[in-house]
Every structure is written in structure tokens, then in C-alpha cells.
């Protein structure tokens, strides 16, 4: 039933919102495809569209509570996702108005009798969906808030922790916090403010069976909070070498890290802050199959366990209430995952607060109920069509835990929002590249995903830089998350990566995205990415050089002329400012072990922005007879090729950045044309350089032939 419903909604939704969602995106009519074609870069569109989709999985539906399958040994561990008992359920009282799903028969549930009223959900509409934070109010029942940061695990709420009661809700006499308690609360506030605004964490999953069967290598080396990607590349003579890309993040979690540890590192520190009028967002980014869902699934349940602990322990009798909602953004449309994928509308109210009209919000007070709701939403999400991963990887799933409180502590008025924690399992990042797919629907979905991931990055960056303008209108995703981007907010990004060599390109893209989010943050100082200046270039090296070379077969005819002309144009003095490049480190077997391109780019730049390179020594060309000379020549030519490749890669980065700008700026047609003209000019400039390189190589080959003739005739 879900499947049918989902299909139907999918096609229907496209018709309704087509114009709004896609017409202003250059990826459609003024499409990315057309743009890339006009720039001669259409080959770039296909690179990621054929990623393999992992098989359907036996999900643990957030039930693990104890690390899921993430801990333990390596290798097979990733296929073991055995359910674990959920500890601590009995610690929480069950509110009578919110019967847990589990207490009802499964047939009831299957028959669709989950009427919203059973859960006493708040049906959100423009009037009741309150996204504005409750103004700061004195919290009368503050007690030693140390547990705010270190929730006491496995203890009952009857534990006789010192607490001060709320006058309005209990018969206990009000007690004012003493000095120590106030100090402690202040300290907690301080701790809360010391939680970074943005935290970027990378999680590497173990190799899976498929990758092992294909003999793919684990190319990710982790060390503390840094990681190195070992990318195997080919030189022009087809020998392999390994290029290293090193990154530093706030935390790097390797394949041995359990889901529990992921929670401790990412979400646990921000849970207490949402009681202090903060909105926090945790999202997982990465290619399909990199472990986003595996990572995100247990987090909301673990967080709600801690939230409930705080509510019933630290903030006991303070009138805090917890609400859960779960929805999905698919092709730019919103669907309620807790209400049979009912289509939802997003509206802005008079105060520019975003409201999701019709979204069911469930008031919950025990972990079991939350677990059931999450399972329900997840099942609705992943069983939409035949391929669960195929579907889930094309949608963003957003689970929100909202803490509310009545203004006066009484039940008579609707509670107001105190803080919110949003968990986002993003669409597979490579899905944004599906813009060349023959299926229009797929193409548009890809465009929307692309747009939303870029917009998300921009919003986070703006947020961290305290920019007054947050570009949340860039996509449906960021529009929906608008209230999470304004005011006091925290963001945790978990970048999920696959370790295998087959995913290298996607992995580098993911790390680059994460690096951009992190490195542009205020207060982070210079980029932490050790090879940051070469990183971006390296990402585009999967592009075959031939694909940007002008098709020509007649260079040999005019070699000499072209060379002479170019020499003049470059006005080059080889003796004073030659291009220097770190030489490859040769292994004993003749293969290169590591090859780090020099970062001293200044040296190779001429004032006009063109790159200089060292001329092959004419004396060598003319007089060489020995193998040493030839090797020197070869080395010089290789340096040249690398210099040009670097130029091309650099250009591609400019093109990428420009494309990002285009998407972000939603440029109207005429400005788009300006961009294209500018980019074409850049590309032509680069193409001239490449042409020159090709001439040089042909010339060199000719010389080599001559040399060989000489060698053989002179008896060498």
C-alpha cells in the first residue's frame, strides 16, 4: 500500500510543483547539461550516475540503543545488525494520554487505525505550529545541573537527587536555588555555549562483502582526528602512483567505532543545550551506501532517551514536553512519514515563521513509543517502492524532537517551543549528479538534491559566520529547516565515507564538502586540510585529459610554428622562475609510492595568471645520446604534463565553483549567459595551453624517433 501510495504521490507531486521547484533551477531548461555541453564538459555529468545501489538491508530500526552493529570486530560486523534489548525503557513513565504503539495490537496498526488522536499528536497548522522559541523564563526547579551533561545512566527517577520543585505543578514548597546551584546552572550555560556551533565529524564504514569480493582496497587511513585518502592514479606512461589527500576534522571515527561512540561524539553534547532555547541539527552526508542511515538511525532514540532523562530528572516537574515528528523531502515535496506519507505543505506565517501544514506531531513520554514511531516512519520511508535504498537515497528524511513548555507552566495554554533537535538523513550525495539521466523525473530529482545539498552547505556557512542573511530559500530542505538556522543554533555534520578504492571519487567529494563546511567557519583559523591548496585540484583528476583536448590530428604538421609562437607569447625566462615540482618517490619496483604536488603555486604563476613551465632543454634534445639524458628529458616532459594537468584541474575547480554560484544565486537567464561566456573564455585559454602541451609532446616524440634512429645507426 505504501508503495502504491508513494508512487502515486511521486508523479502527482511532480506535476503540481514542477514549475516552482525546477523552473528556476538551471539544471532543467537552462540545464546543467546544456551548460556543461556548451562548456564542452558534458562528460562530467556521467561520472557518478551509475553508482551501485547496495542491496536491501535488514534494518534494526533504531532499536539498538547499544551500538547497533557498529561495535565489535571488523569485517563481517557490518552485516550483523542484530536487534539489541533497549535498556532503560522502564525508567520513564508512560503518560496516559499517549498510549505506546506497542500496547496496541499489530492488526490495529496494520488496519490503519492509528488515528492521530490515539497519540494525541498536535496537528500542526499555521496557528498551532509554533516555531518561535519560548522567551527565556526562570526555571524554578533548577538543581545541580551537572547531570545535564552527564546523565546518570540506568538510574531510576526515584533516585533521591536533590531537586527543587515547581510551585505550579507540585504541592512542594517552592525553594529558591542556593548560590551553588545558581553557580552550577551558570556553569552549565557556559558549557553549553562552549559547544561548537558547527562540528564536522567523519565516519568511515568497514569494507563490505561486495568490495572485498572485488578485491578493492581500503584506501582510508585514519589517525586521531585526521585521515588520509590514498588515491591510485596513472601517469602518462601508465605507471601507477598514489596521491595522498590528508584532511583534519573535529573527529574522525574509524570502522571500529560503535554507534554508541558516534552518539557520544556527536549528539550527546548538544542534547542539554536544547533545553536552553537552542535549535540543533545533526545530519549525515555521503554517497549512497556509505552508512548514513546506519549512522543516523540510532541517534534520535538515544537522544530522546537522554532528553527524557533530563525532563524527568534534571527538569522534573518543569512542565517540559517532548514531541516527535518525522517527514521526508522527496523531489522537493514534503511527505509525513508518520501519517502514511500524506503530502504536506509548507507555509510562512506573518512573522516569517515556517510552518508545515498538516504535519503530525506526537507528544511522547517514553522511549518505547518513540522507538515505535521511528520504526513506523522509517518503514514508510524505505518500503515506498521496490528498492528501499534506491528510494531512501533520493530523499531527505527529517526527524524532529521538539521540546515545548507552556508559558505559565499550566496545561491550559498550548505549549511553546523551547528547543528542537533535528536529525536529517540526507539523500545520497552522488544523486545530485543524476542530471543526465534519460528519465526526466530522475534528472529533476537529482537537480533538486544537488540544489538542496549546496543550499545546506551555504546556510551552515552563513550561520557559522553570523551572517545576517541566511540563504535558506535556496531549497526546500533549507526552507524547512529555516528555524533551525536562525538564532541560537548548533549543527553537527557527520560525513559518511566508504573505505574502498572503488568509491574514491565520491569519498573525496564528500570530504571536500565537509572540509568546505568546516574550513570556512569563523574561528577555525586557516584551513585545517593539510593539503588544502592541492585538494580541490586533485578531485577533478579523474577526468581524462583527452576529454578536454580539442580534437585534432594535424598538430604534427605545424609543430615548429606553434612552439615558436607560444614561446613568444609566454615571454618565458626559464632560468629565473621555473616551475618546480616535488619529484615522485620511486619504489624499488619502479612504481611511485607517494606523489605530493608542491603547494607553492605562486612560483608557477605569471602576473597574467598564466602558468609557466620549464622548457625542455634544447641542448639535451639536440645532443643527447645517453639514457641519462633521455631520462632527464622524459622527466621534464612529465613535469610539463603535470603542470598542464594541474592547470586543467584548476580550471575545472573554477568551473565547479562558478556552477555552485549559479545554483546558489538562481541567476536569471541573461546573467547565466554572462557566466557561460566567462567560463568559455577561461576554458579557451586553458585549451590553448593544452594544445601547446600536445605540440610539445608530438615534438618530443619526433625527436625521440630521430634519437632512436641515430642510436641504432651509431651502434649504441
Ligand X SMILES: Nc1ncnc2c1ncn2[C@@H]1O[C@H](COP(=O)(O)OP(=O)(O)OP(=O)(O)O)[C@@H](O)[C@H]1O
Q: Is residue 432 part of the contact set for ligand X (CB under 6 A)?
A: no
Q: Does 395 bind ligand X (CB under 6 A)?
A: no
The reply to whether 263 sits near ligand X by the rule CB under 6 A is no
| Contact range with ligand X by CB under 6 A, out of 139-147, 166-174, 281-289, 654-662 | 281-289
Of 300, 409, 428, 616, the one binding ligand X by CB under 6 A: 428
Shortest Cβ distance from residue 51 to ligand X (Å)?
9
Which helix (DSSP H) or strand (DSSP E) does residue 138 occupy?
Answer: none
Alpha helices by DSSP H, listed for 195-269, are 209-213, 259-266
Give the binding range for ligand X (CB under 6 A) out of 325-333, 385-393, 549-557, 658-666: 385-393
Interatomic CA distance for residues 25 and 666, integer angstroms:
6
Residue whose CB is less far from ligand X, 392 or 536: 392
Our CB check for ligand X shows the closer of 360 and 510 to be: 510
Return the number of the residue (26 or 62) whose C-beta is nearest ligand X. Answer: 62
Give the residue with the Cβ less far from ligand X, 506 or 512. 506
Which window, 8-16, 74-82, 194-202, 314-322, contacts ligand X (CB under 6 A)? Answer: 74-82
Residues forming beta bridges with residue 200, ordered by sequence position: 493
Instruction: Find all residues with CB under 8 Å of 610, minimum gap 6, and list them.
Output: 570, 685, 689
The pair phi, psi for residue 128, each rounded to 5°, is -95, -20
CA–CA distance from 426 to each of 283, 293, 395, 430, 507 (Å)?
Answer: 7, 9, 7, 11, 16
Closer residue to ligand X in complex, CB, 55/487: 55
Tell me the angle at which helices 2-18 and 440-464 cross, rounded to the nearest 10 degrees.
80
Q: Which of residues 325, 365, 378, 392 is near ligand X by CB under 6 A?
A: 392
Residues 680-695: b if buried by 16+ CB within 10 A, e if exposed: eebbeebbebbbbbbb
Location of C-alpha cell 552522488: 430
166 vs 409: CA distance, rounded Å: 9
Between residues 58 and 571, which has the closer beta carbon with respect to ligand X?
58
**Quick one: which of 25, 32, 81, 400 contacts ligand X (CB under 6 A)?**
81
Q: Which residues, numbered 282-301, are part of the site for ligand X (CB under 6 A)? A: 286, 288-294
Q: How far is the CB of 229 from ligand X (least distance, A)?
A: 17
Which residues is 222 bridged to in the sheet?
Answer: 227
| Non-local CB neighbours of 357 within 8 Å, separated by 6+ positions | 124, 125, 126, 129, 344, 345, 346, 347
Q: With contact defined as beta carbons under 8 Å apart, do 569 and 606 qualify?
A: no
Are 367 and 322 in contact by the 8 Å Cβ rule? The answer is: no
Among positions 496-525, residues that touch ligand X (CB under 6 A) are 496
With a CB cutoff of 8 Å and minimum separation 6, the contacts of 383 are 2, 3
Stretch near ligand X under the rule CB under 6 A, chosen from 76-84, 191-199, 557-565, 575-583: 76-84
Residue with cell 561512540: 261
Count of residues that bind ligand X according to CB under 6 A: 23
**∠ CA(301), CA(307), CA(313), 5° rounding?**
135
CB nearer ligand X, residue 143 or residue 335: 335
Point out the annotated binding site.
Answer: 286-293
Give the one residue of 2, 34, 66, 78 binding ligand X; rule: CB under 6 A: 78
- Say whether residue 380 binds ligand X (CB under 6 A): no
- Residue 564 phi, psi (nearest 5): -60, -45
For the segment 203-262, give every residue that binds ligand X (CB under 6 A). Answer: 205-206, 208
Write down the residue that cell numbers 556551533 correspond to: 197
CB of 230 to ligand X, least distance (A): 20
Q: Tell me the closest approach of the beta carbon of residue 512 to ligand X, in angstroms.
A: 17
Among 33, 64, 69, 409, binds ligand X (CB under 6 A): 69
Question: Residue 31 corresponds to which cell in the numbers above?
Answer: 540545464
Binding site for ligand X (CB under 6 A): 54, 57, 69-70, 77-78, 81, 205-206, 208, 286, 288-294, 389, 392-393, 428, 496
Amino acid at each position: 500500500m505504501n508503495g502504491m501510495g508513494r508512487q502515486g504521490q511521486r508523479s502527482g507531486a511532480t506535476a503540481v510543483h514542477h514549475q516552482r521547484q525546477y523552473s528556476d533551477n538551471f539544471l532543467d531548461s537552462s540545464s546543467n547539461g546544456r551548460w556543461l555541453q556548451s562548456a564542452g564538459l558534458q562528460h562530467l555529468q556521467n561520472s557518478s550516475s551509475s553508482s551501485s545501489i547496495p542491496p536491501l538491508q535488514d534494518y534494526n530500526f533504531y532499536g539498538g540503543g547499544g551500538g547497533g552493529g557498529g561495535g565489535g570486530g571488523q569485517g563481517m560486523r557490518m552485516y550483523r545488525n542484530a536487534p539489541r534489548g533497549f535498556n532503560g525503557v522502564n525508567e520513564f513513565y508512560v503518560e496516559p494520554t499517549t498510549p505506546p504503539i506497542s500496547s496496541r495490537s499489530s492488526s490495529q496498526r496494520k488496519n490503519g487505525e492509528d488515528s492521530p488522536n490515539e497519540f494525541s499528536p498536535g496537528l500542526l497548522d499555521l496557528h498551532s505550529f509554533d516555531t518561535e522559541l519560548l522567551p527565556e523564563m526562570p526555571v524554578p526547579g533548577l538543581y545541580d545541573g551537572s547531570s545535564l551533561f552527564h546523565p546518570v545512566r540506568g538510574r531510576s527517577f526515584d533516585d533521591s537527587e536533590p531537586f527543587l520543585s515547581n510551585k505550579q505543578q507540585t504541592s512542594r514548597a517552592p525553594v529558591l536555588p542556593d548560590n551553588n546551584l545558581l553557580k552550577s546552572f551558570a556553569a552549565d550555560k557556559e558549557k553549553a555555549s562552549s559547544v561548537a556551533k558547527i562540528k564536522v565529524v567523519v565516519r568511515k564504514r568497514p569494507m563490505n562483502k561486495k568490495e572485498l569480493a572485488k578485491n578493492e582496497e581500503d584506501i582510508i587511513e585514519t589517525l586521531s582526528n585526521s585521515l588520509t585518502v590514498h588515491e591510485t592514479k596513472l601517469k602518462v606512461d601508465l605507471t601507477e602512483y598514489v596521491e595522498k589527500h590528508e584532511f583534519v576534522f573535529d573527529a574522525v571515527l574509524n570502522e571500529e567505532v560503535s554507534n554508541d561512540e558516534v552518539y557520544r561524539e556527536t549528539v550527546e553534547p548538544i542534547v542539554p543545550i536544547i533545553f536552553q532555547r537552542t535549535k540543533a541539527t545533526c545530519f549525515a552526508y555521503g554517497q549512497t551506501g556509505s552508512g548514513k542511515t546506519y549512522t543516523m538511525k540510532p541517534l534520535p532514540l538515544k537522544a530522546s532517551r537522554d532528553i527524557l532523562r533530563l525532563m524527568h530528572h534534571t527538569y522534573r516537574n518543569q512542565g517540559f514536553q517532548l514531541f516527535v515528528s518525522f517527514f521526508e523531502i522527496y523531489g522537493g515535496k514534503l511527505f509525513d512519514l508518520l501519517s502514511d506519507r500524506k503530502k504536506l505543505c509548507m507555509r510562512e506565517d506573518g512573522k516569517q515563521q515556517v510552518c508545515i501544514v498538516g504535519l503530525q506531531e506526537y507528544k511522547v513520554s517514553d522511549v518505547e513509543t518513540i522507538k515505535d514511531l521511528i520504526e513506523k516512519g522509517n518503514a514508510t520511508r524505505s518500503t515506498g517502492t521496490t528498492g528501499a535504498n534506491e528510494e531512501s537515497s533520493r530523499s531527505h528524511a527529517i526527524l524532529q524532537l521538539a521540546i515545548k513548555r507552556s508559558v505559565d507552566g499550566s496545561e491550559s495554554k498550548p505549549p511553546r517551543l523551547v528547543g528542537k533537535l533535528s536529525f536529517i538523513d540526507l539523500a545520497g550525495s552522488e544523486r545530485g549528479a543524476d542530471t543526465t539521466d534519460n528519465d526526466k523525473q530522475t534528472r529533476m530529482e537529482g537537480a533538486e538534491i544537488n540544489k538542496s545539498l549546496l543550499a545546506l552547505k551555504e546556510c551552515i556557512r552563513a550561520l557559522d559566520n553570523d551572517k545576517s542573511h541566511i540563504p535558506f530559500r535556496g531549497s526546500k530542505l533549507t526552507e524547512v529547516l529555516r528555524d533551525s538556522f536562525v538564532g541560537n543554533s548548533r549543527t553537527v555534520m557527520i560525513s559518511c565515507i566508504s573505505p574502498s578504492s572503488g568509491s574514491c571519487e565520491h569519498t573525496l567529494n564528500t570530504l571536500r564538502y565537509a572540509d568546505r563546511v568546516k574550513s570556512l567557519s569563523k574561528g577555525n583559523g586557516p584551513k585545517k586540510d593539510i593539503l588544502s591548496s592541492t585538494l580541490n585540484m586533485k578531485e577533478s583528476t579523474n577526468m581524462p585529459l583527452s576529454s578536454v583536448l580539442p580534437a585534432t590530428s594535424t598538430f604534427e604538421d605545424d609543430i615548429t610554428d606553434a612552439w615558436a609562437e607560444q614561446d613568444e607569447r609566454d615571454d618565458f625566462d626559464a632560468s629565473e622562475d621555473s616551475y618546480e615540482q616535488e619529484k615522485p618517490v620511486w619504489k624499488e619496483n619502479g612504481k611511485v609510492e607517494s606523489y605530493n604536488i608542491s603547494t607553492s603555486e605562486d612560483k608557477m604563476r605569471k602576473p597574467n595568471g598564466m602558468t609557466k613551465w620549464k622548457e625542455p632543454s634544447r641542448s639535451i634534445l639536440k645532443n643527447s645520446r645517453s639514457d641519462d639524458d633521455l631520462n632527464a628529458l622524459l622527466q621534464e616532459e612529465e613535469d610539463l604534463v603535470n603542470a598542464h594537468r594541474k592547470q586543467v584541474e584548476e580550471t575545472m575547480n573554477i568551473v565547479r565553483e562558478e556552477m555552485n554560484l549559479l545554483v546558489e544565486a538562481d541567476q536569471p537567464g541573461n546573467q547565466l549567459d554572462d557566466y557561460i561566456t566567462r567560463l568559455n573564455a577561461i576554458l579557451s585559454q586553458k585549451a590553448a595551453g593544452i594544445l601547446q602541451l600536445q605540440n610539445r609532446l608530438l615534438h618530443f616524440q619526433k625527436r625521440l624517433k630521430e634519437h632512436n634512429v641515430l642510436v641504432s645507426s651509431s651502434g649504441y
